[in-house]
Amino acid sequence: MQWRQFVMDLEALDPATVEDLFSRLGACSVTLSDAGDDPVLEPGPGETPLWSNTRITGLFSDETDMDAFRRALATGLGLEQIPKHHVEELADREWEREWLKDFGAMQFGSRLWICPTGENVAADDAVIVHLDPGLAFGTGTHPTTAMCLEWLDGVELEGKTLLDYGCGSGVLAIAALKLGCRSATGMDIDPQAVTATGQNAADNGIADNLSITDSPEGIEGQFDVVVANILAGPLVQFADSITSLLARGGMLALSGVLCEQADEVMQAYRPWIEFDEPEFREQDGQTWSRLTGWKR
């Protein structure tokens, strides 16, 4: 089957409005991308950035009347003339995988790997989490996620219980289960994160050992390990409740914290937590920290 790809620079148009209009006018898929030279990797926790110059691409069947689509698009946007655009004729490909071509296997620590679906690594001792980039935060490319994954790979998790507070994609909880945790709980107030975590757990064959909740009130019991990769503000605000979920002698890892925020966050937890030396990592002009310790 042949396809037609309609590519248009958004200029000042609202991305969500145009994306919805593309879908309503018959696009089989819609993709937003960089129209300039302003790369966005994995966003920081709580961020959903777009490029300053964004391009939208819609994939249509070869039977689509593109002149009629142009007219309907202009009418729907209330414009006499739509922004700069072009149409490409495309041969059939596995489009749902095409956008993953630049996302490959990544190693964290000595054993842990994050791999796209269908990809594996040859190392005999490899512990593999299969995960594709999606709407929810957390594939390992951001330093806060990477540092948490490396920490999980380096601590003893066999038979332990873990809470992933602000689970995003669920990558930390899933990795912990693959590394030996007996059970895990993921909590996130974002419905997309809850959906993504459930799907990723099923894809990795560990759904029976992972509980997911969309509210802190839904978390039950205490845990041997608590990981919270969120933001400094919520970490400080909820320090009391987060530490109450950690069993005595349990291990804590906090991230999503810029280096200049580390002291404030540690101070909020010091009544309960004995901290290790902070770990710092720089990326794209920002230095992030990982704060680990144990509950007295």
Q: Is 49 a residue whose pLDDT tops 50?
A: no
**How many residues does this entry show for the chain?**
296
* Residues 186, 214: Cα–Cα separation, whole Å: 9
| Tens of pLDDT, residues 143-197 | 899 999 999 999 999 999 999 999 988 999 999 999 999 999 999 998 888 988 9
Pairing of strands 210-213, 3-9: unpaired
DSSP codes joined into one string, 18-35: HHHHHHHTT-SEEEEEES
Place of tokens 């030996």: 180
Place of tokens 């390992």: 140
* Residues 128, 147: Cα–Cα separation, whole Å: 17
Residues with Cβ within 8 Å of residue 123, at least 6 apart in sequence? 111, 113
Q: Could you say which of 3.30.360.10, 3.40.50.150, 3.40.640.10, 3.40.1350.10 is the CATH number of the domain covering 136-295? A: 3.40.50.150
Place of tokens 């064959």: 205
Q: CATH 3.30.70.260 in the chain, residues?
A: 3-98
Nearest to 3 by CA among 92, 70, 86, 66: 92
Q: CATH 3.40.50.150 in the chain, residues?
A: 136-295
Does domain 3-98 correspond to CATH entry 3.40.470.10? no
* Residues 172, 68: Cα–Cα separation, whole Å: 47
Neighbours of 88 (CB within 10 A): 11
Would you say the C-alpha torsion 23, 28, 32, 35 has a positive or negative sign?
Answer: negative
pLDDT confidence of residue 41: 43
pLDDT band of residue 1 (cuts 50, 70, 90) is low
| Tens of pLDDT, residues 218-236 | 999 999 999 999 989 999 9
Extract the tokens encoding 167. Answer: 């689970």
